[in-house]
Amino acid sequence: MAPNSTLAIHGGPKAVHCDGADRWPLFLKDDVSRRIGALLDAGTITIADGGGIVAEFEAAFRDLAGTRFALTMNSGTATLHSAYFAAGVGPGTEVIVPSYTWHASVTPVLHCSATPVFADIDADTLTIDPADIERKITDRTRAVCVVHTWGNVADMDRILAIARARGIAVIEDASHAHGATYKGRPVGGIGDIGCFSMQGVKAVSGGEAGVATTNDPVLFDRMVLLAHFGRGPKGEGARTFDAIGDMSLGAKYRPHPFAIALASSQLPRLAELNRRRTHNYAVLNDRVRGVPGIETVEPRDGSTRGGFLEFKFKIARDVLRRVPLDRIEAALNAEGAPFQKDRYSGMNYTYGLLHQAPLFTTFDRRSLGGCFYDPATYTGPHPAVPLPVTEDVCTRLLSTYAFVDVDETYLHQLADALIKVMAQTESL
């Protein structure tokens, strides 16, 4: 179909007429049933000491991340809270975080009675901008959270150089990036602590689960201390906590073994999933790269993407000065192409514009009490600090599924739809 034919939204034929069902199974039912059945047969419905299937999965994840330690938890949010705690984030300290991220990269900072400081992103990769990290550092900065957004890896060399020179911990939020690498090194093993969500439709999922990775025995033991009631510190840093014996701080962040059974079934499939998603994204990007009005999101030089979660494209600013993104989305959907404007942007503060969210700007956290208000350090609500790149990019993103097992003809038809619509935006 010629890309300049009449748009479907104006009565023309659809560009997409191939079956677009993704046939990659979210999980292998028989394998998961076998693993959970074995736990039930053994009467294992909880694991407090980190043994059994939990120990086996942690060993496999250590291999994936290339780290000495891995610690499973019940969510990616729990791994981030544990990581900040382990890194010494507390009252009077700050953590530099990107605004373009899921809110759980940021809210655990509040649980540590600390202050999140928002940084801008790199427009090309959608990951945190090292130059803005450097601008935001103060003598209160204790850590920086690096989010490998949509599977794209941040500029780790620059970030590590900035952080190491100042004694600042680097926490990698790799929740979108299972299996991604930077200059041959797996994400999650580059900074001080790696945090992976295994929720929902993540590349490795336990339904609800997470895993933290580190090479530092003291950081590992500090995470155990917070997150695993019933599991004593077992890293070489255990001597740090002799004064409290076998106690923990009581948070029960340990995962359910059934969740680890599900994740254990998916982990061996990760390499194939990433291979297919990488190929499919490349098919789309190769077709539309250079098309007027479309900007592709490319991997950083020297890195390989992983996990993905969604495929992202940007619409050029000059196009959006003439036609709203909603109208472009409607035209693509009419073509049978499942593109949508970034549902996390705009007024949805769970992702993308966190620096404008009332929780971090106008809301007075003293009303919450507890860890959310430290009278010695809390200075009240703060107005939003402009982040021009984040604010611009969030208004221009189109998303589609991170396809795994689809007919390649379908991917070409999606590209046809993009090309067709972008060639006729003046009619919208």
DSSP H or E segment with residue 397: strand 397-401
Local structure of residue 252 (DSSP, 8 states): B
Q: Which of 14, 183, 202, 341 is catalytic?
A: 202
Is position 29 annotated as part of the catalytic site? no
Q: Cα–Cα distance between 322 and 103 in angstroms, integer?
A: 32
**323 torsion bin: left (phi>0), alpha (psi -120 to 50), beta (else):** beta
Cα–Cα distance between 227 and 222 in angstroms, integer?
9
Residue pointed to by tokens 């993905």: 308
Q: Which amino acid is at 193?
A: I
Taking a C-beta distance cutoff of 8 angstroms, is the pair 329, 396 a contact?
no
- b/e code 34-59 from CB counts within 10 Å (16+ = b): ebbeebeeeebeebeebeebbeebbe
Are the C-beta atoms of residues 110 and 372 closer than 8 Å to each other?
Answer: yes
Gap between the Cα atoms of 275 and 177, Å rounded: 13
Active site residues: 202
